Amino acid sequence: MTSRHLGLVVIAALLLPACGSNPTTPTQIPSAALLVTIDPTPVPPSQNTLTGAVSIGYKIVITETAGLGGTMQFVSSQIFNPSTGQLLSLTYFDGDDLIVFVGKKRIDPGGTMIVPQTGSYTLPDLSKNATLVVNVQMLDDRQNIINSSVLVKIE
């Protein structure tokens, strides 16, 4: 092979696209994605027999699933009367609250945040079953606002 041919081979190798798979890199991920689960599900209530007040304890598990991290803006929990839809209880943690109660407000790519929660309520008929709704919002590293919600039964 002459040096002229060798030069053409080198130029062709540099100009042609590489073969093989094109792995996903963080620059190719357009936005984060969140999976929100409640542990345990359904949430078990505990009722005070004297007052009828119901107490619950649970964990909100937030997992980033797309491979792009971000900063949690808020985690909000609402308990509703299943018959009327009336709001019975509300808990709201902003980013500063998350630092205090969880120790961080950032979720790394593919990471998880666990937010322990408690709540209490009283239903007019002194029953225990209710509906829990959890809403979370994250500002991902590409400045996208990501919202996710979950609804679970308290029973």
Rounded percentage of the chain residues whose pLDDT exceeds 70: 83
Could you tell me if residue 74 is inside a domain? yes
Phi, psi of 68 (to 5 degrees): -135, 120
Could you tell me if residue 44 is inside a domain? yes
Specify the number of domains making up the chain: 1
Phi-psi bin for 20: left (phi > 0), alpha (psi -120 to 50), beta? Answer: left
Could you tell me if residue 4 is inside a domain? no
CATH of the domain at 130: 2.60.40.1470
pTM value > 0.85: no
Could you tell me the CA-to-CA distances from 130 to 25, 77, 85, 96 in Å, in that order?
Answer: 43, 13, 9, 29
Could you tell me if residue 21 is inside a domain? no
Parent domain of 104: 29-154
Tell me: the pLDDT tens digits for 86-127?
Answer: 999 999 999 999 999 999 999 999 999 999 999 999 999 999
